[in-house]
Structure 1
Amino acid sequence: MAPSLSVRLSLCVLGATLLLGSAPPSLSAHPPRLSAESEVSMVTILPGTPVYSMFGHSALRVHDPAQNIDRLYNYGTFDFSDPLFIPKFAYGHLRYFLSVVPFPRALRAYEQQQRPVLEQTLNLTRAQRTALFRVLQVNARPENRYYQYVFFFDNCSTRVRDALEQALGDAVQFGDRPRPDATFRQLLDPYAANLPLVDLSFDLALGTPADRRATPREAHFLPDYLFEAFAHATVQSGDTTRALVAHTDTTRWIEGYEATPSAFDWPLAAGWMILFLTLGWTGWQATTGRQPGTYGDALLLAAVGVTGVLACFLWFVSTYAVTTYNWNLLWAWPTHLLAAPLLLWRPSAAGLRMYLAVTAVTAAVVALGWTWWPQDLHAAVFPVVLTVGIRGGWRALGADSERPRIR
């Protein structure tokens, strides 16, 4: 299955699905034993259009017609109506919970979202199915259903695997397939191919921890990889070892579905357009003897400074571990937010010219070492770095800050 991680690091971010959160069915202290007709399956929902669904989703279905049970256990539910949702999300204190909904109802919701649904029926004994069902019932109780969402390591997909391992212990074994042979950042790229602004936001927000190669088990945070991991896993009962998945079915397909439709990379195009306009603007000023105006450069510094402030917040204030050690701070200095108003109101202030000279030199170093930095910086950032270097260098070396400006 071909792979298909918001301007705010939807670091559901990163991959959960917003379903019809509802109160779970009656959760008795001693859940019943499933009948011989029962089945348990892992349900994979392919990516959808909303950002929160861009990675797809994983859930567990318990179906026992003899006891009129057909439920979807969904670890990817969150409450977007919470008035503090955005601050909690930015800080990294986002609580997800396990919701339980009737499977037909969930299936209709995914069909309305135009998202195909695949189902892997698990090759479990009746006792193993019952053990997993009881773990899910206990996890769905009000006192147990909430958990702290951690995008790469504890999300709606990894919780499905963990519930299975909690119920079966060492009887279930996941091998080293599929092998991602990619960093966490590279694993996210295919899912953001049709969302260029989201792709840019990921690369601006994620630090060097995202540039570590993921192990096969760590790749389970993506539903596509969990689907493949289930397909290659085994389960043991007594002395018998068999494939974990008995059979795979396409429960619902959407005609014309395309997980990652092509999209024009407009942030990259915008970056190069800004650079070319800057070259023309600076060249015109240099050849005509005009002095650099202040508004355009102040706006550039302010925009870059805001980027740096956000990167610092994600590194030093938020609880996210994957946004630390962010090398974007080499070029996105938070201090530019102080330099911007100074450039507007006191362009001849002592030290400003030196500050801009250091900015230009640093931008040149960043650009020259582009492929050598330990973090994979976004391609759209490269022309922006050059733009900052050109304008900083022109103001510091090629213009007389004491002469009157022609605005």
Structure 2
Amino acid sequence: MSIKKVFVFLFTNICLFAIPSQAQTRKLRISILTCAPGPELYSTFGHTAIRIIDSTQGSDIVYNYGVIGEVLNYDDPVFYIRFMRGKLKYMLDAYSYSDFLNEYQMEQRSVWEQELNLTEIEKQTILDRLTQNLIGANKFYKYDFWLDNCSTRPRDILLKTFPNIKITKPIIAKGTTPRMLIHNYLDKAGQSWSKLGIDLLLGSLMDKPIDDYGAMFLPDYFKLGLDNANIGNQKLVKSTSTVLNLPSPIEPSNNYAPLIFTIILAMAFVVVYYFFRKNIAVNNILDSLFLFLTGLLGVLLFVMWTCTDHTVCKENYNLLWAMPFNIIVAFSLIKNRKWHKAYFVVCFLLNIVLIGGWFWLPQQFNIALLPIILLITYRDAYRIISLQKRK
């Protein structure tokens, strides 16, 4: 073999060995950050982010899918308008771990960290996916409270990268629904009025039982799922640590305030109806007002079901009592119509079905609605009897 060939052979092999050895020196550490709930509604359910430390480059970056992509902040009115329409875009952002931690320290929210037990190749695969998601339009996604959020995105990255991940111990009881889970957070946060509003807007899809993976749409359950997950024959989580241990900023409050309010409101209407029972004009005004308000709510629920991108607002059984057609009846009540009796009979029967099937219908209703529904049923019966007497 000539000297030239020996030189080429040695040079080629040096290059081949040099490339992998350089790649092998790269050390990554990947962990999941779980943040405690905050006092504001948008923070009630906590938060999830991914932390990647690259010791070769000296970087410590948090990949956060919970960044608003189209409006300035949560106080911007556009935020709630887009959220109601189901058009709100969130995005993936990457920034320093220290900045991320400072934010939660200022908000007085605890943070936990779970280091994942992965090989260097597996860690690089996750980093490549996140890097790809930061490019151009890839960083944006249409937020869905249940199906696509800051917690489901990291969950799906892990499941797509490692299909052999298995949860070895159940994290929720059999028959648990998304509504049950979110109720726990709203009750702990004292968000009773928000709970009422959410129960009005969210349809029966939120009352279908979910599995452990489905429960991971909430950060705490994602954290719990990781603690009980294996990848192959080893634990997915290598270690768990508390990064920030802070007293919760959430202050307890009266969770029965909406129920107390609706009871008082219904009783007040009954008292007024009683004292003006012989005054047809007052009865018509009160019933028209009640029909208009419930009809307006029904229109909102129908629009949220049919004209928005919110999957969780579909199949809403609250339309059994908050009927959109009530608006038409409200303006026609001043003069008796032939179809009024038939309409009130239908409404009365629907409300009877709703009250009788309160615990058996495929949707869970907020208890604060019961006094209002009973009042509506009473007025439907009154209208039916009144129209019968006038014949």
Q: Shorter chain as normaliser: what TM range?
A: 0.7 to 0.9
**Residues in 2 aligned to 1:401 and 1:75: alpha-carbon distance in whole angstroms:** 63
1:293-308 alignment to 2 at 5 Å? Answer: 293=282, 294-308=284-298
SS in 2 for 1:62: strand
Aligned residues of 1:207 and 1:325 also touching (Cα < 8 A) = yes
SS in 1 for 2:65: strand
Report the structure, 1 or 2, having the larger helix content: 2
Aligned residues of 1:33 and 1:130 also touching (Cα < 8 A) = no
**Residues in 2 aligned to 1:338 and 1:176: alpha-carbon distance in whole angstroms:** 54
**Residues in 2 aligned to 1:396 and 1:314: alpha-carbon distance in whole angstroms:** 31
Aligned residues of 2:38 and 2:249 also touching (Cα < 8 A) = no
Superposed displacement of residue 180, structure 1: 4.0
Aligned residues of 2:39 and 2:249 also touching (Cα < 8 A) = no
Query: Residue 216 of structure 2 aligns with which residue?
Result: 220
One of 49, 52, 60 as aligned partner of 1:59: 49
The CA deviation string for residues 77-116 of structure 1, in whole angstroms up to 9 with x for no partner, is: 1133388544432232332211111110011111111211
Query: Residue 144 of structure 2 aligns with which residue?
Result: 150
SS in 2 for 1:302: helix
RMSD (Å), alpha carbons: 2.6
**Residues in 2 aligned to 1:242 and 1:342: alpha-carbon distance in whole angstroms:** 69
1:45 corresponds to 2:35: yes
Could you state the TM-score of these two structures normalised by the residue count of structure 1?
A: 0.81
Superposed displacement of residue 46, structure 1: 0.9
1:313 corresponds to 2:303: yes
Query: Residue 274 of structure 1 aligns with which residue?
Result: 265
Structure 1 vs Structure 2: percent identity of aligned residues?
A: 30
**Residues in 2 aligned to 1:284 and 1:244: alpha-carbon distance in whole angstroms:** 68
Query: Residue 325 of structure 1 aligns with which residue?
Result: 315
Superposed displacement of residue 304, structure 1: 0.8
Unaligned runs of 5+ in 2: 1-21
Of 123-132 and 203-212, the range deviating more from structure 2: 123-132
1:264 corresponds to 2:293: no
What amino acid is the match of 1:231?
A: D
Unaligned runs of 5+ in 1: 1-31, 403-407
Query: Residue 14 of structure 1 aligns with which residue?
Result: none
**Residues in 2 aligned to 1:35 and 1:151: alpha-carbon distance in whole angstroms:** 40
Query: Residue 99 of structure 1 aligns with which residue?
Result: 93
What amino acid is the match of 2:295?
A: G
SS in 1 for 2:312: coil
One of 384, 394, 397 as aligned partner of 2:385: 397
Aligned residues of 2:109 and 2:249 also touching (Cα < 8 A) = no
Aligned length: 361
**Residues in 2 aligned to 1:397 and 1:310: alpha-carbon distance in whole angstroms:** 30
1:144-183 alignment to 2 at 5 Å? Answer: 144-167=138-161, 169-170=162-163, 172-175=165-168, 177-181=170-174, 182-183=176-177
Query: Residue 242 of structure 2 aligns with which residue?
Result: 250
1:16-165 alignment to 2 at 5 Å? Answer: 38-78=28-68, 79-81=70-72, 85-165=79-159
Aligned residues of 1:274 and 1:387 also touching (Cα < 8 A) = no
1:5-16 alignment to 2 at 5 Å? Answer: none
Superposed displacement of residue 355, structure 1: 3.2
Aligned residues of 1:42 and 1:119 also touching (Cα < 8 A) = yes
**Residues in 1 aligned to 2:218 and 2:266: alpha-carbon distance in whole angstroms:** 36
Which structure: larger Rg?
2
SS in 2 for 1:127: helix
Query: Residue 405 of structure 1 aligns with which residue?
Result: none
Query: Residue 366 of structure 1 aligns with which residue?
Result: 354
Query: Residue 280 of structure 2 aligns with which residue?
Result: 291
SS in 2 for 1:63: strand
What amino acid is the match of 2:364?
A: D
Superposed displacement of residue 259, structure 1: 5.3
Superposed displacement of residue 299, structure 1: 1.8
What amino acid is the match of 1:291?
A: I
**Residues in 2 aligned to 1:151 and 1:295: alpha-carbon distance in whole angstroms:** 40
The CA deviation string for residues 298-330 of structure 1, in whole angstroms up to 9 with x for no partner, is: 221111111211111122222222222211111
**Residues in 1 aligned to 2:339 and 2:153: alpha-carbon distance in whole angstroms:** 54
With over 3 angstroms needed to count, the CA separation of the structure-2 counterparts of 1:34 and 1:383, relative to structure 1, is farther
**Residues in 1 aligned to 2:377 and 2:281: alpha-carbon distance in whole angstroms:** 14
SS in 1 for 2:48: strand
**Residues in 2 aligned to 1:378 and 1:207: alpha-carbon distance in whole angstroms:** 12
SS in 1 for 2:49: strand
1:189 corresponds to 2:183: yes
